[in-house]
Amino acid sequence: MSKNKLLFIALVIAFLIIIFLPIEYPISVKSKGKLLPLKTWILAKGTDGRLLTSLTDNSSGITNHFSASQFERGDAVQFNLNQNLIEKGNVTLGDTIGYVISNEIEKNIQKLKSELETSKASLRVQTSSQKQSIIEEEKRKLEFAEKELEEQSKIYNRKKLLFERDLISQQEFEADEARYELAKININIAKERLKTVESGAKEEEISFAESQIRAIENEINILQKRYESNNIISPITGSINRTYSVDTLLVISDTSKYVILMPIKWNDSRKVQVNQSMSVSLPESNEIINGIVSSIGNNVNTYSNYQYVMVTAISENKLNDLKPGLYVDCKINCGNSTAIEYFKSLISGW
């Protein structure tokens, strides 16, 4: 028998021994993955000027919360980001991200506060013997309101001319117009207040005045809560990501944990199970982070004749080099298998 035949037979025997030996070998599945923060919160501006917010849980791929701020038609609304937080670069759950300033709501609150003062002044007169001094005080308030109206009227007329010549923005003109209208309202309120304090009242009128005060205070509280509810509050703790989009105002990433998204070949996906350990190698670095497989996608996707399933893993490791959006090398540890079982799986996958 020639040496070549003997060598061939020896190789076949060695191969069969390796195949049938009850020795288990570690099985792993490798893929490229993308790092994502655990949660992403986005603040954006809609095409109609509304403020839109969305909170996405990247571990499940589900948007858990979405909101759109509604404003009154014709209301001159301003929005200002909290620059202190922007400069700090990170936020805590409950921090105020930005402030919405509504001229309409502010005007209504101011009007109600003036009405509240009128009602309280009236009640003081009705229950006080110092009527003349209160009347003199209300006369002084009326004089002040008249001077304020005169000043606001001059500003309004001047700004109106500038607006008609396109020298100032509509928003600036509407803000001055709102102050002018408020000054006119304050004049009427001051007159009514003076008229009220100059007259007397019966016991039932005092009771009615007290109920009016309570009703106005309730209205102010409702408007104040509505005003504050328009402010944008962070629903998560995380870091602020800079964005250069016209529509996207702010993105906050919760990096308390990292989500790793990995496309796994359909044939290999049958080896992968939830709670299996996995490791991530950072590009151009010797550091490795560990994670756990949290979910396996139900859908099979195709790209260039390549069928794959999306697998999600969670890592709690903290490294300075970890950045959301980074592509990394991933390896899922799929347990151990004998050589014969491994070859059977290869054959069944063909």
User: What confidence tens digit (pLDDT) does each residue in 83-130 have?
Assistant: 888 888 888 888 888 877 666 666 777 777 777 777 777 777 666 655
Percentage of residues in the chain with pLDDT exceeding 90?
11
324 assigned to some structural domain: yes
Out of 3-7, 118-122, 228-232, least confident range: 3-7
Is residue 216 domain-shared with residue 264, that is, in the same domain? no
Is residue 300 domain-shared with residue 216, that is, in the same domain? no
Is residue 274 domain-shared with residue 329, that is, in the same domain? yes
Number of folded domains in the chain?
2
Is residue 32 domain-shared with residue 145, that is, in the same domain? no
82 assigned to some structural domain: no
306 assigned to some structural domain: yes
Is residue 198 domain-shared with residue 278, that is, in the same domain? no
44 assigned to some structural domain: no
312 assigned to some structural domain: yes
Is residue 204 domain-shared with residue 109, that is, in the same domain? yes
Q: What is the structure's pLDDT at 349?
A: 45
Is residue 225 domain-shared with residue 285, that is, in the same domain? no
What number of CA atoms fall less than 13 Å from residue 87's CA on the CB side? 3
Is residue 158 domain-shared with residue 273, that is, in the same domain? no
Largest pairwise CA distance in the chain: 134
Looking at mean pLDDT, say which of 40-49, 94-103, 152-161, 283-292 comes out highest: 152-161
- CA–CA dist 171, 46 (Å, integer): 18
In terms of DSSP H, where are the helices of the chain? Answer: 3-20, 83-88, 103-127, 131-164, 170-198, 203-229, 266-269, 339-349
What number of CA atoms fall less than 13 Å from residue 20's CA on the CB side? 6
Last residue of a domain, one of 186, 211, 229: 229
> What is the C-alpha end-to-end distance of the chain, expressed in Å?
37
16 assigned to some structural domain: no
Q: Are strands 90-91 and 96-102 parallel, antiparallel or unpaired?
A: unpaired
Whole-angstrom CA distances from 106 to 68, 76, 182, 268, 329 are 21, 11, 10, 62, 55
Q: Which amino acid is at 75?
A: D
Domain containing 328 equals 24-36+257-349
- CA–CA dist 144, 254 (Å, integer): 53
Is residue 279 domain-shared with residue 225, that is, in the same domain? no
Is residue 114 domain-shared with residue 225, that is, in the same domain? yes
- CA–CA dist 241, 325 (Å, integer): 12
315 assigned to some structural domain: yes
SS (H, E, C) 232-266: EECCCCEEEECCCCCCEEEEEEEEEEEEEEEEEEH
Handedness of CA 192, 196, 202, 203 (dihedral sign): positive
Is residue 263 domain-shared with residue 180, that is, in the same domain? no
**Average pLDDT rounded to a whole number, residues 145-167:** 86
Q: What is the structure's pLDDT at 41?
A: 92
Q: 294: domain CATH number?
A: 2.40.30.170
Contacting residues for 198 by C-beta, under 8 A, at least 6 apart: 135
319 assigned to some structural domain: yes
- CA–CA dist 206, 152 (Å, integer): 35
CB atoms within 10 A of CB 153: 13
- CA quadruple 208, 214, 217, 223: dihedral, nearest 10: -100
pLDDT band with cut points at 50, 70 and 90 for residue 260:
very high
- Tell me the sheet residues that pair with 288: 281
Out of 53-62, 197-206, 264-273, least confident range: 197-206
Give the residue carrying structure tokens 């070949």. Answer: 265
- CA–CA dist 7, 80 (Å, integer): 81
**Average pLDDT rounded to a whole number, residues 261-286:** 85
Is residue 211 domain-shared with residue 263, that is, in the same domain? no
